[in-house]
Structure 1
Amino acid sequence: MSLIPATILTGFLGSGKTTLLKRVLSEAHGQKI
């Protein structure tokens, strides 16, 4: 069985997790997510 790379994003309420995730997804040019 092959492993699937995954990233876990954690942090306190209001620490900017959603903002970081949106930025990573919008700037991930040429990468498959």
Structure 2
Amino acid sequence: PQFAVEAKDSYGGTSLNKVKESIVKAKQNLKEK
């Protein structure tokens, strides 16, 4: 899934905030489906 890739990229080198964002987005996507 796309959000998993984004989360991985965030862990690779950017801030934890981006990781949190990815997780929140992922949860929202799962709820909507």
Shorter-chain-normalised TM-score: which range? 0.3 to 0.5
TM-score by length of 1: 0.45
Mark the structure with the bigger radius of gyration: 1
Higher-helix-fraction structure:
2
Ranked by relative contact order (alpha carbons within 8 Å, sequence separation 6 or more), the top structure is: 2
